[in-house]
Structure 1
Amino acid sequence: MSDQPTPDSKDWTWVLDSVCDECRQDVRGLEPRLIAGLVRDSVPRFAAALRRPDACTRPSPKVWSPLEYCAHVGDMYEVMNQRLELIVGQEAPKFANWDQDEAALRSDYAAQSPRLVVERLRATAEAFAVTLGTLRGAQLERPGFRSNGSAFTAATLARYAWHDAAHHLHDIGA
């Protein structure tokens, strides 16, 4: 699709310290094991959105369709799972840059099969949830760093990722 939404240049790390004014999600007190359940529970909601007749239609030219949001969330869960594994396995890892807009173009989210998108989302959500469920004690406070220098612990990365998914459920009305 040639008419792509304007890339989001906001630094969304502020959602770790306050309620999101758009989706009303408050992630501040969420523990990773609880987030694992929320991640699993989100999959049927995303899947239902992909069964709607408008799943492949953008509500406006500059806003992703439900299909594109679901493909993004599948990628996001995979990236966040990889980052959690780095946090647990390395001392203060630096995460490779992940440009979500470039990923959307490279993977052509808009042309993907809704069936394959939901299968992938289900798999990456489960892998992420499993990793979240294994985090214990001191692992929760181990740090990792985004390419722009933003610091995350395993716990705050889990919260940040859950906000992203919850926000996109809000975006697609699921």
Structure 2
Amino acid sequence: MRSPLTPARLPLPDCARCGHVSRLVGQDKVAELLREYAAEWQRLLIDPELGERSVGVPAWSPLEHGCHVRDMCLLFHVRLDAMLGTASEQSSASSALNAPDAARRYRDEAPRQVAEELGRAAEALARRLAALTAEQWDRDDPRLADPRLTVDFFTRHLLHDIAHDLAEVLRGPERQQRTQNEQ
């Protein structure tokens, strides 16, 4: 529970690279936005032109980025459980994702299967986020020293990560190379 002596929110900065502006996303719109991002990811993953091109850092293919987004959605249940003091079906299913070589296997996964799994993971998380109360949004992580690191903060951070990965894939390697050269 957040102390009344601490600031209300720890703001996330706007991201010039992907265009995500977390302060514009109301808590009542988080689930809808997560579903929109997931739908776009699903469209990308089933696109026959997906290809093996590497984008972003650490130079993952679009498939590997999609796997990462799926796993972020699954693992977020574990964070929510820790912060809310609950246990969910999704968090037990997420424990297998902690294997150290999970990311190295991403390139071997089937894009259509990843698209389906990402859709299910995002929908389960969206339903859970849509059901949060105002008090739950303000809960901090008892394992961390900063009480401003709330469910709201981590959810906005998750949405930014998903948007950022999507922007990198949509931008593609050519535009990304130009962007890196301009920095």
Give the match for residue 31 of structure 1: 26
* Cα root mean square deviation, aligned: 2.9
| CA-to-aligned-CA distance 1:48-103 (integer Å, 9 cap, x gap) | 2113334240236951111110000000011112211321126xxxxx9x989853
Deviation per CA, 1:111-139, whole angstroms, max 9, x where unpaired? Answer: 10011101110111011101111111211
SS in 1 for 2:73: helix
2:4 counterpart residue number:
none
Separation in 1, partners of 2:165, 2:146:
22
Give SS of 2:64's match. Answer: helix
Matching residue of 1:66? 62
Instruction: Go from structure 1 to structure 2 and tell me whether the alpha carbon gap of 1:101 and 1:130 turns closer, same or farther (over 3 Å shift).
Output: same
**TM-score under structure 2 normalisation?**
0.71
The correspondence for 2:73, drawn from 63, 77, 80, is 77
Q: Indicate the percent of aligned positions where both proteins have the same amino acid.
A: 30
Q: 1:86 to 1:31 in 2, by over 3 A?
A: farther
Give the greater-gyration-radius structure (CA).
2
Counterparts of 1:99 and 1:22 in 2: how far apart (Å)? 29
**Which of 65, 70, 82 is the equivalent residue of 1:86?**
82
Tell me if structure 1 keeps the 8 A contact 2:84–2:139: yes
| Distance in 2 of aligned mates of 1:69 and 1:159 | 19
* 1:55 aligned residue (39, 50, 60): 50
Deviations 1:5-35 (A, max 9, x none): xxxxxxxxxx943111211211124233311
Q: Distance in 1 between matches of 2:146 and 2:54?
A: 32
Identify the structure with the greater helix proportion. Answer: 2
Amino acid at match of 1:114: P
**How far apart in 1 are the matches of 2:37 and 2:169?**
12
Q: Which consecutive residues of structure 1, in runs of 5 or more, have no partner in the other structure?
A: 1-14, 91-95
Segments of 4+ in structure 1 off by > 6 A?
98-101
- Alignment length (residue pairs): 151
Change (3 A) 1:103 1:139: same
- After the TM superposition, which residues 11-160 of structure 1 pair with which residues of structure 2 at under 5 Å, given as runs? 16-59=11-54, 63-89=59-85, 102-105=101-104, 108-144=105-141, 152-160=149-157
Shift, 1:143, TM fit: 0.7
Structure 2 residues without counterparts, runs of 5 or longer = 1-9, 87-94, 172-183
SS at match of 2:53: coil
